[in-house]
Structure 1
Amino acid sequence: MGVEPGAVETREERTDEASAHDEASAHDEPVAERRGSRLDDWWGRVLSTPRRRTIWYWGGPILVTLLAAALRFWNLGNPQTLVFDETYYVKDAWTLLQNGYESSWPEGANDEFAAGDTDVFSDDPAYVVHPPLGKWMISLGMAAFGAGDAFWWRASTALAGTIAVFLMTVVARRLFASTILAVIAGLLFAVDGNAIVMSRVALLDNWVMFFALIGFWFVLLDRGRSARLLDERLESARASGREPHYGPALWARPWVVAAGVAFGAATAVKWSGLWFLAAFGLYLVIVDAVARRRAGVPFWLSASILKQGPVSFLLLVPAAAAVYLASWTGWLVTAGGYYRHWAEEAGNAATGWLSWVPLSLQSLWHYHEAAYGFHIGVHGEHQWQSNPLTWLVMMRPTNMHFAATDDGSGGCGGDTCWSSIIGIGNPFIWWAAAAACLYLVYRLVRYREWQVGAILVGLAAGYLPWLGYLDRTVFQFYSIAFEPFTVLGLVFVIGLVLGRRDDPYWRRERGVAIVVIYLAFVLAISAFFFPIWSGMPVTPTFRQLHFWLPSWS
Structure 2
Amino acid sequence: MTALLIRSPGDGTGPDPERTRPSGDREATLLGRPMPGDRMRALVVTLVLTAIGGFVRLQNLGFPTDGGTPVFDEKHYVPQAWQMLRNGGYEDNYGYELIVHPPLAKQLIAIGEWMLGYNGWGWRLSAAIAGTLIILLTIRIARRLTRSTLLGAIAGILVISDGVLHLQSRMGMLDIFLALFVLAAFGFLLLDREQVRERLAVAVREGWADESPYGPRLGFRWWRLGAGVMLGLATAVKWSGAYYVVAFALLCIAFDVAARRAAGVARPWLGMLRRDLAPAAWGIGMIAVLVYLSSWWAWFASETATDRHYVEIEGVPAGPLGFVPDALRSLFLYTTNVLGFHEDLTTPTDDPHPWESKPWTWPMGLRPMLYYYESGSEAAGCGQADCVRATMLVGTPALWWLALPLLGWGLWRSIFRADWRYTAVLVGYSAGLLPWFAMLDRQMYFFYATPLAPFLILGLTLALGQILGSARNGFERRGTGLLVVALYTGLVVANFVWLWPILNGDSITSDRWQAELWLPSWR
TM value normalised by structure 1: 0.84
Alignment of 1:101 onto 2:68: no
**1:57 and 2:42 equivalent?**
yes
Please say which of residues 506-515 and 132-141 is displaced more in the overlay: 506-515
**1:311-350 CA distance string (max 9 Å, x none):** 1111222211111001111111111122111111253141
Deviates more, 1:201-210 or 1:248-257: 248-257
Tell me if 1:299 matches 2:301.
no
Structure 1: how far apart are the matches of 2:508 and 2:369?
18
Matched, 1:130 2:77: no
Distance 2:137 2:470 in 1: 25
Q: 1:146 aligns with which of 97, 109, 117?
A: 117
- Contiguous gaps of at least 5 residues in structure 1: 1-49, 105-122
Please show how residues 14-25 of structure 1 align to structure 2 within 5 Å: none
**Larger-gyration structure (1/2):** 1
SS of 1:392 mapped into structure 2 = coil
Partner-residue secondary structure (3-state), 1:238: coil
**Which amino acid in structure 2 is aligned with residue 317 of structure 1?**
G
TM-fit CA distance, 1:237:
6.5
Residues 247-286 of structure 1 correspond to what in structure 2 (within 5 A)? 247-286=215-254
> Residue 377 of structure 1 is aligned with which of 337, 341, 344?
344
- For 2:479 and 2:324, the matched residues in 1 are separated by 67
Which among 546, 549, 552 is matched to residue 516 of structure 2?
A: 546
**Which residue of 51, 58, 68 maps to 2:53?**
68
Distance 2:474 2:385 in 1: 58
More deviation in 332-341 or 184-193? 332-341
Residue number in structure 2 paired with 1:435 = 405
Shift of 1:59: 2.2
Compare 175-184 and 289-298 and name the one that shifted more: 289-298
Contact 2:214–2:274, Cα closer than 8 Å, also in 1: no
Task: State the partner residue of 1:368.
Answer: 335
In structure 2, the partner of 1:394 is 365
Partner of 1:411: 381
Q: Which residue type is aligned with residue 311 of structure 1?
A: P
* Structure 1 segment 204-223 matched on structure 2, within 5 A: 204-223=174-193
TM superposition shift of 1:154: 0.1
Is 2:336 the partner of 1:336? no
Match of 2:450, SS? helix
Preserved contact between residue 399 and residue 492 of structure 2 (Cα < 8 Å): yes
Amino acid in structure 1 at the alignment position of 2:301? V
The Cα shift of 1:300 comes to: 1.1
1:425 aligns with 2:392: no
TM-score, structure 2 length as denominator? 0.88
SS at match of 2:208: helix
Q: Is the 8 A contact 1:101 1:125 kept in 2?
A: no
The alpha-carbon deviation at position 405 of structure 1 amounts to: 2.8
| Aligned partners of 2:364 and 2:402 also within 8 Å | no
Count of matched residue positions in the alignment of Structure 1 and Structure 2: 479
Deviation at 1:245, TM superposition (A): 1.1
Given that 1:433 and 1:487 are in contact with CA atoms closer than 8 Å, whether structure 2 keeps it comes out as no
Aligned equivalents of 1:433, 1:67: Cα separation in 2? 26
Deviations along 1:392-417, one digit per CA (max 9) or x if unpaired, are 1111001111112337x711111122
- 1:248 is paired with a residue of what secondary structure? coil
Partner of 2:493: 523
Return the offset for 1:377: 1.7
CA contact (8 A) 2:139 2:155 kept: yes
- 1:80 CA displacement: 2.7
Give the aligned residue type for 2:244: F
Q: How many angstroms apart in 2 are the aligned matches of 1:127 and 1:233?
A: 55
Give deviations 1:205-262, integer Å, cap 9, x for gaps. 10110000110110011000011223334655739xx721112333410111100000
Q: Is 1:476–2:446 an aligned residue pair?
A: yes
SS at match of 1:200: coil
Q: Please report the RMSD computed on the Cα atoms of aligned residues, expressed in angstroms.
A: 1.8
2:127 is aligned, of 143, 157, 163, to 157
- SS of the residue corresponding to residue 130 of structure 1 reads coil
Q: Does 1:320 align with 2:308?
A: no
Q: Report the Cα offset of residue 124 of structure 1.
A: 5.7
Percent identical residues: 36
Kindly indicate whether the alpha-carbon contact (under 8 Å) linking 1:194 and 1:425 is maintained by their aligned counterparts in 2.
yes
Are 1:355 and 2:326 matched, yes or no?
no
In structure 2, the residue corresponding to 1:90 is in which secondary structure?
helix
Of stretches 300-309 and 289-298 in structure 1, the one that deviates more from structure 2 is: 300-309
CA distance in 2, matches of 1:54, 1:319: 32
- Quick one: structure 1 residues 339 and 534, their matched pair in 2 at CA, closer, same or farther if it must change by over 3 Å? same
The one-letter amino acid paired with 1:276 is Y
Q: Aligned pair 1:447/2:432, yes or no? A: no
Cα distance, 1:306 vs. partner? 3.5
Contact 2:396/2:496 (8 A) holds in 1: yes
Q: Does structure 2 conserve the Cα–Cα contact (< 8 Å) formed by 1:343 and 1:362?
A: yes
Q: Report what 2:30 is aligned to.
A: none
Equivalent runs, 1:497-536 vs 2, <5 Å: 497-536=467-506
